[in-house]
Structure 1
Amino acid sequence: MDLKSLIAPEHFNLASEISKHDSNKIALRWENELGETRTISYAQLITKANKLANGLTKLGLEKGDRVVIMTTRLIESYVIYLACLKAGIVISPTSELLRAKDIVYRLNHSEAKAVISYSELIKEFENISEETPFLQFKIAFGQEVPNWISLEALVENESETFSDVDTLSEDYAFLAYTSGTTGQPKGVVHSHGWGYAHLRIAASKWLNISEEDLVWATASPGWQKWVWSPFLSILGSGATGYIYHGRFNPHKYLRLLQDNKINVLCCTPTEYRMMAKLNDLSSFNLIDLHTAVSAGEALNREVIDVFKNQFNILIRDGYGQTESTLLIANLNTNENKLGSMGQPLLQEFIEVVDENGQPAPINEVGTIAIRSDFPALFKQYYKNPVTTASSYQGQYFLSGDRAMKDEDNYYWFQGRKDDVIISSGYTIGPFEVEDALMKHKAVKECAVVALPDPIRGNVVKAYVVLQEGTLGTAELTKELQGFVKNLTAPYKYPRVIEYIEALPKTDSGKIRRIELRNATIKG
């Protein structure tokens, strides 16, 4: 791929990649658990986004303002994101699973001027007790909410035309938050130009999307993966996106794939694993599915084999990070390499480096690194120049993930250099769980690590030292789990809690997580 083809024009608004498909072709097909359906054409989507962009700017939002968005799998989500891009507003995606504690940090750290939320998700915003000095506007859609601006009323009399704000390719488009091993989540800044490069790397080379395809990417709004695939890759390619607003059920998913004649599927490894465990796979016909991809964590060979043998579909694993785009993927059908991460999509930009930041020898484990001039690399960690600088070594951004490459330049995942936990595709920082646990009166100390799990990849395990006189009972375990669920996103709670007398520590007092991880694996 020619490097020049990945670099956006100097003046570039990412919304133009979607707006160029202004036609009566169906852009999105939506369905819920009750079987209710809706569709919207590209022309209708753009018209609705124009009306909202007008409403937001008249309200007082300007180019560069940050807006926290909490929504779910709805057509309105696409309208809101597109409208914000058109208006030059910086989008901060926020998962519907987050709690007030998580949300207020994002509001204040990003200095968000507004929040836009689905009406059914405003509870945690209402639970915020801390000051939010930068927040001026609270906008809700779906139904009227007291003390919130109605999005429907905001657009009611607005013009159906809007001239996209003149943004530079280097201007901020997204501010996504990603979990780390210590401290609060980091704000990852992506520019409009990042989106330009992402579309030309992930959508065409990995997802293999054409305009004729019906594409189902199951990620939920609030995650960078939703920006990657359901929003940008599908709409930027002029394809039709399928949206299912319902709970995951392996039988239901396979039935939807079959009945809707889905052509391209992007699922999490956990979803694939649970479908592969069904005993009646032969009753489903997925003949229309030409591409199936997986990302978020490593997918085991056994699941790949099940889909290959049953449906003649090769699930192609892909690797990327919030800070970048898809970097490494399986694009061919080399049977000898199944189970590997695949090869770098742009080989000159990706490397395995040693502790000195130099390319590691073949078959030696090192850190996956991305050259600093890669067009789809983040701009910075917001308000965190120290962490931004420390994440680079020489000419490379260090991913923190460990791998080795073989003589054919296939990468083989070896684990994480840091302690971040990936469970069912969710990235979980141990500090966030530990911080919640420490707020419980029974907890004296704690440490959180990943516990391997055949379905979720990993689950959160907490080692807890209790206050003197407190017993580690099954009832207390349930109480601590519920306590964490109420303080932070439910997916972060420790599914396993082990009570110990003391945590292993270094002479300087730092927790020796490696001992806990080793004990967990042997466990």
Structure 2
Amino acid sequence: MITKVRPTSYEHFMETYQQIAPEHFNFAFDVVDAKAAASPQQKAMIHLDDHGVRREYTFDFFARESSRLANSLKGQGIGKGDTVMLILYRRVEFWVAMLALHKLGAVAIPTPSLLTTHDIVQRVNVANVKCMIVEDSIVSRVDAARKDCAGIRLYVQVGGDAAAPGWELYEPFVAQGSDQFSRPDDCADGDDPLLIFFSSGTTGPPKMVEHTHTYPLGHVMTGVYWHDLEPGDIHLTVADTGWGKAVWGKFYGQWMADAIVFVYDFRGKFSPSNLLTAISQNKVTSFCAPPTVYRFLIREDLAAYDLSALRHCTTAGELLNYSVFHTWEELVGLPIYEGYGQTETSLQIATFPCMKPKPGSIGKPVPGWDIVLLDSEDNVCPPGVEGEICVKIKEGKPFGLMDGYLKEPEKTADATRNGYYRTGDKAWMDEDGYFWFMGRVDDVIKSSGYRIGPFEVESALVAHDAVVEAAVTGLPDPLRGQAVKATIVLAPGFEPSETLTRELQNYVKKVTAPYKYPRVIEYVTDLPKTISGKIKRADIRARDLENMK
């Protein structure tokens, strides 16, 4: 049980909060099994599947089922240090499998369901995967990769009436194992490897981001403080289990806060009305989603849903548009607290309940994270001057920072040179100490002596009724160096035209600095994205350069 600090201000928070550093920490044993032993019937999860079936699960369930799976995997030779790939959507088995691997000391690789066969082969071989635990709907794709994945010893299929050839069916496989799994003498903990995330690949091939068993401790800040969770709260983070945001919002920090994780395992196209119904009927108290989701929600008739249980809202993943912030606050009565982090980190910068949110600002540095903005010569930038977001690590790394890029020592060394972890993201800080995100270092546009972050222009564009999505990039220009270009997906009912282009340009001039308006607008049906849904601005720039030849 964590004793929650209740600061009256950000300064008070920084003064009073201390990072807890338990020795030999292993989340599965020290949190989940400990809670199961103390309060077996304490509710851990509410799960709602795509058919509307609602189930509740206790910590005792997760402790016992993860022990069964750990024993069954151990019986097939999977052990400490072995890498295991999970492709499980938002199934309960994802949480069971993660805990089982933590107990074994095996290294989990949460993986998106959208990977192609080629992607699977590449990731399996570079990570030396020994076992795959996969939903039945993904099995055929994995089977197509098997001939090129010689190192895998065990395939486990989750779901379906019968196992595909060469696969173990999950339920009978798990049933073989005892529901008791004692902590091994050589238990994985502390600085032992815990999991690997593949980065989203917005600027190049995905990197293997390795985290250790101290990583969950970084999410005390996420769940207890940023999500503002109290024991018994019901928290929903909209995220797929193939990405790091799932363990940010659906696992470590929430259970350490004694909250209940609400999982909505919808499949196919996202439905705002279905999500609002789920929040309403299940009395969700704390909610986190990317700004895109909030944009869809405010287009619904929010008065038709009972959101009275909801008391705290957060967002991360992209810049929150100020019009979305104000509309949500007006309709729901709650502000949205922004946060910033990466696959390589836990929460680094955030707006906490003890702070007044500034729409569009990602907040202030999280306690335990010594963050500065550095220019190209490693000088600390004063307020108002943009720089790269960097974390001081000379005196030690904060909980939640990666161990490194696996098998890429040169990239690890470059990202951690001269005593700083370098995020590759740019921001500026105002006089009050709030940070304002600008984008990746390569995404910042240099036009006529101005430096323009794509997010602020995108934020202005998506506030217009005609725009569903926008990507802003720099286009080579002989006079300006770069011209601001917007690639836009229009909302239903709107058609590209010169009149609309002028209207959007004038709209941006009104809501942000006039020099930031897009001089070029291209209308498209969709934007190039990573499988995690992040816009690949580098692809747009590359295509534009090719078209200019």
Q: TM-score scaled to structure 2, two decimals? A: 0.76
1:95 maps to what in 2? 112
Q: Deviations over 1:324-377 (max 9, x none)?
A: 111111114766722211111127611111112231111100011112222321
SS at match of 1:122: helix
Query: Deviation at 1:212?
Result: 1.3
Aligned amino acid, residue 13 of structure 1:
N
Aligned to 2:489: none
Is contact 2:221–2:253 with CA below 8 Å preserved after alignment? no
Deviation for aligned residue 1:289? 0.8
- For 1:200, the equivalent position in structure 2 comes to 220
- Choose which of 147, 159, 172 in structure 1 pairs with 2:166: 147
Q: Which amino acid aligns with 1:298?
A: L
Give how far 1:322 is off.
0.6
**Helix, strand or coil at the partner of 1:386:** helix
Q: Is the 8 A contact 1:285 1:311 kept in 2?
A: no
Q: Is the 8 A contact 1:104 1:130 kept in 2?
A: no
CA RMSD of aligned residues (A): 3.1
2:86 aligned residue: 69
> Could you say if the C-alpha distance between residues 98 and 296 of structure 1 is closer, same or farther in structure 2, counting changes exceeding 3 Å?
same
Q: Does the aligned pair in 2 maintain the 1:73–1:243 contact within 8 Å?
A: yes
Tell me the residue number matched to 2:518.
Answer: none
Equivalent of 2:438 in 408, 414, 418: 414
Q: Which residue of 2 aligns with 1:228?
A: 248
Is 1:6 matched with 2:28? no
Which runs of no fewer than 5 residues in structure 1 stay unpaired?
421-449, 464-480, 506-523
Distance 1:460 1:73, change over 3 A: farther
CA contact (8 A) 1:113 1:137 kept: yes
Q: 1:161 aligns with which of 153, 158, 180?
A: 180
Q: Does the aligned pair in 1 maintain the 2:350–2:366 contact within 8 Å? A: yes
**Deviation (angstroms), 1:419:** 5.1
Aligned residues: 455
Matched to 2:135, the amino acid is Y
Residue equivalent to 1:312: 333
Superposed counterparts of 1:508-523, under 5 Å: none
**Structure 1: distance between partners of 2:358 and 2:176:** 57
Give distance in 1, aligned partners of 2:424 and 2:545.
31
Structure 2 Cα separation of the partners of residues 348 and 135 of structure 1: 39
**Residue of structure 2 in register with 1:285 after alignment:** 306
Question: Residue 67 of structure 2: which of 43, 47, 50 is its match?
Answer: 50
CA distance in 1 between counterparts of 2:429 and 2:322 reads 18
2:208 maps to which of 181, 187, 191: 187
Q: How does 1:310-389 map to 2 (within 5 A)?
A: 310-332=331-353, 337-346=358-367, 349-372=370-393, 373-389=397-413
Q: Does 1:392 align with 2:416?
A: yes
* Secondary structure class of the residue paired with 2:113: coil
User: Pick from 20, 34, 37: which aligns with 2:34?
Assistant: 20
Distance, in Å, in 2 between the alignment partners of 1:376 and 1:3 is: 20
Residue 226 of structure 2 corresponds to residue 213 of structure 1:
no
Q: How far 1:188 sits from its partner (Å)?
A: 0.3
Q: CA deviation at 1:12?
A: 2.1
Match of 1:29 in 2: 46
| Aligned with residue 130 of structure 2, among 110, 113, 123 | 113
Name the CA distance, whole Å, in 2 between partners of 1:203 and 1:24: 21
Tell me if the contact between 1:323 and 1:378 (Cα under 8 Å) persists in the aligned partners.
yes
For residues 110-141 of structure 1, the C-alpha deviation after alignment (integer angstroms, 9 at most, x for no partner) is 10111110112222212226622321111111
CA contact (8 A) 1:357 1:396 kept: no
Does the alignment pair 1:246 with 2:266? yes
In 1, Cα distance between equivalents of 2:214 and 2:92: 25
Question: 2:274 aligned with 1:276, yes or no?
Answer: no
Q: Matched residue of 1:57: which SS?
A: helix
Shift of 1:296: 0.9
Q: How many Å separate the matches in 2 of 1:192 and 1:383?
A: 19
Identity of aligned residues (%): 31
Give the secondary-structure state (helix, strand or coil) at the position aligned to 2:318: coil
Q: Secondary structure at the match of 1:337?
A: coil
Cα distance in 2 between the residues matched to 1:492 and 1:406? 27
Could you tell me which residue of structure 2 aligns to residue 295 of structure 1?
316
Extract unaligned runs of 5+ from structure 2.
1-13, 445-456, 476-524
Hey, what does 2:287 align to over in structure 1? Answer: 265
What amino acid is aligned across from residue 133 of structure 2 in structure 1? I
- Alpha-carbon distance between aligned partners in 2 of 1:117 and 1:169, rounded to the nearest angstrom: 28
Report the CA distance between 1:168 and its aligned residue.
Answer: 3.0
Counterpart AA for 2:244: Q
- Distance in 2, matches of 1:501 and 1:323, equals 31
Counterpart residue identity of residue 243, structure 1: V
Higher RCO by CA contacts (8 Å cutoff, separation 6 or greater): 1
Counterpart Cα distance in 2 of 1:322 and 1:47: 30
Shift of 1:10: 3.7
Instruction: Deviation per CA, 1:376-430: give whole Å up to 9, x if none.
Output: 210010000001111123221111111001121100111211359xxxxxxxxxx
Do the aligned partners of residues 490 and 210 (structure 1) sit closer, same or farther apart at CA in structure 2, a change above 3 Å counting?
Answer: closer
Partners of 1:451 and 1:260 lie apart in 2 by: 34
Q: CA deviation at 1:18?
A: 2.2
Equivalent residues of 1:357, 1:394 under 8 A apart: no
Q: How many Å separate the matches in 2 of 1:41 and 1:381?
A: 35
TM-score (norm 1): 0.80
The structural deviation recorded for 1:241 is 1.4
* 1:256 and 2:256 are equivalent in the alignment: no
Aligned ranges for residues 497-512 of structure 1 at < 5 Å?
Answer: 502=546
What code does the residue aligned with 1:312 have?
Answer: G
Query: Retained in 2: the 8 A contact 1:304–1:315?
Result: yes
Q: Do the aligned partners of residues 66 and 295 (structure 1) sit closer, same or farther apart at CA in structure 2, a change above 3 Å counting?
A: same
Distance in 2 (CA, whole Å) between partners of 1:345 and 1:266 is 18
